[in-house]
Amino acid sequence: MKIERIEAIPYSIPYTKPLKFASGQVTEADHVLLRVHTDEGIVGTADTPPRPYTYGETQDSIVAVVNKIFAPAVIGLDPLDREKIHQALGRTIHNQTAKGGLDIALWDIIGQAAGMPVSQLLGGYTDSMQVSHMLGFQPAQKLLEEALQFRSDYGINTFKLKVGRRPLSLDIEACHVLREGLGEDADIYLDANRGWTANEALEVLRRTEGLGLSLLEEPCDAKEAMSRRRLVDKSPIPIVGDESVPTAGDVSRELLSGGCNAICIKTARSGFTEATQILGLCTGLGVDVTMGNQIDTQVGTIATVTFGAAHEASSRRAGELSNFLDMSDDLLAEPIVIKDGSISVRQMPGVGAAIDEAKLAHYRQDN
Ligand code: MUC
Ligand code: MG
């Protein structure tokens, strides 16, 4: 089997409600759908979300790097020659989600060729993932209303609260209101997207003591190495690396230098291959992982479910899998269902990301 051609299709689907966080906001899914075509007629599919404020990629840059650099480098190779393909892609640095999407599309091809669900090929640990819902910036009472609504509509009881605002009292109040309103059984954790300094994060931890918050993600820029280490040493809860750790090398640097002591894995930026390396590193070191969300569509979300459910360590905690609910539409032919707080792995060959062609024709921006 050979890779024959690669499509990088820019499209845009509006969100019904913007998601705001410390490093940016999302009002539309202005993503790029990747389709890797083989000479045997098998097509691998993946979604790539440009996040300029996180990785520097844009919709245009993803299309350009795929069309001009990655496609010419891998066309003619066998999709099973993964190591050769990764060597070829690795000659270009960064471009995380473009590389991650291509890797997922290759696995989709491999699963279809083998007649097996990719989740089973990767590890086959379980057949579903518990869902954590991400709450963007809003007044405290609105946050509680949204969380209660998600709990009653979908059975979700794990919430990631976006923080990193100033004055700190905005987020501190939100933590208190959520814990009070959701009760002690809800898992509540925080993600500041580098919005604070390490000392501000310490102050927030002091003023939310006793609330049972479980994790604090990317509180400040990991490049502020000295103060970040001090924060990790002093924090009573794990400090999670997210945007500071897109690659296995970044994970080892941040863990070994004390910049974090838990890791967020995102398939959108690591694909399945590097996510497997990261998971192995974390499991070997006894470091907890979370399955994160790159503000994914249903196409991206099903990829996270595929990987997360494949392994014990990545399915232990609820994964962030619900942001697509705020989109006005999606490209996935068979919509994802969240039931009793969880999403099932697709029991079909590949990743299970069949595309609704009429919707793609409607939302694509290149014709
Ligand atoms: C997250 O976990 O940080 C927001 C920015 C980004 O790159 O991902 C999202 C969610
Ligand atoms: Mg994060």
> What SS3 class is residue 320?
strand
Cβ contacts of residue 308 below 8 Å, gap of 6+? 129, 291, 314, 315, 319
Question: Which of 25, 53, 239, 295 most suits a substitution to test ligand 1, by most atoms within 8 Å of the C-beta?
Answer: 295
> What does the block give as tokens for 77?
């190779």
Q: What is the mean pLDDT of residues 281-306?
A: 98
Assess whether pLDDT exceeds 90 at residue 172: yes
For 89, residues 6+ apart whose C-beta sits below 8 A from its C-beta are: 70, 73, 74, 99, 102
Strand partners, 189: 160
Sign of CA dihedral 217, 218, 222, 225: negative
Domains and CATH numbers, the chain: 3-116+355-363 (3.30.390.10), 120-344 (3.20.20.120)
Q: Is 244 in the pocket of ligand 1 (CB under 6 A)?
A: no
Q: Would you say the CB of residue 21 lies under 6 angstroms from ligand 1?
A: yes
For residue 217, the CA-to-ligand 2 centroid distance in Å is 6
Give the DSSP letter string of 142-209: HHHHHHHHHHHHH---EEEEE---SSTHHHHHHHHHHHHHH-TTSEEEEE-TT-S-HHHHHHHHHHTT
Residue among 361, 218, 235, 304 at smallest CA distance from 46: 304
Ligand 1 centre and the CA of 81: distance in Å? Answer: 31
Distance 295 CA to ligand 1 centre (A): 7
Across the chain, mean pLDDT equals 98
Which of 48, 54, 191 has most ligand 1 atoms within 8 Å of CB, for mutation? Answer: 54
pLDDT of residue 362: 98
**Which candidate in 47, 59, 103, 162 is catalytic?**
162
Nearest to 343 by CA among 169, 211, 156: 156
Ligand 1 pocket mutation pick from 133, 191, 263 by most atoms within 8 angstroms of CB? 191
Which residues have their alpha-adjacent CB atom under 5 A from ion ligand 2? 191, 217, 242
Which residue is closest in CA terms to ligand 1's atom 8?
Answer: 294
Query: What length is written for the chain?
Result: 367
Q: In angstroms, what is the span from residue 179 Cα to ligand 2's centroid?
A: 21
Q: Is 243 in the pocket of ligand 1 (CB under 6 A)?
A: yes
294 is catalytic: yes
Q: What is the mean pLDDT of residues 178-189?
A: 98
pLDDT of residue 15: 98
Average of pLDDT values for 260-273?
Answer: 98
**Atom 6 of ligand 1, residue of closest alpha carbon:** 294
* Residue 326 annotated to the active site: no
Give residue-wise pLDDT tens across range 98-150. 999 999 999 999 999 999 999 999 999 999 999 999 999 999 999 999 999 99
Which-ligand-closest: CA of 295?
1
Q: pLDDT tens, 2-29?
A: 999 999 999 999 999 999 999 999 999 9
Predicted confidence at residue 302, as pLDDT, reads 98
Active site residue 2: no
Output the pLDDT for position 367.
80
| Distance, CA of 4 to CA of 2 (rounded, Å) | 6
Confidence bin at 361 (pLDDT 50/70/90): very high
pLDDT confidence of residue 161: 99
Interval 325-338: pLDDT, tens: 999 999 999 999 99
Give me the pLDDT at residue 329, please.
98
What would the pLDDT profile of 210-263 be if each residue is shown by its tens digit?
Answer: 999 999 999 999 999 999 999 999 999 999 999 999 999 999 999 999 999 999
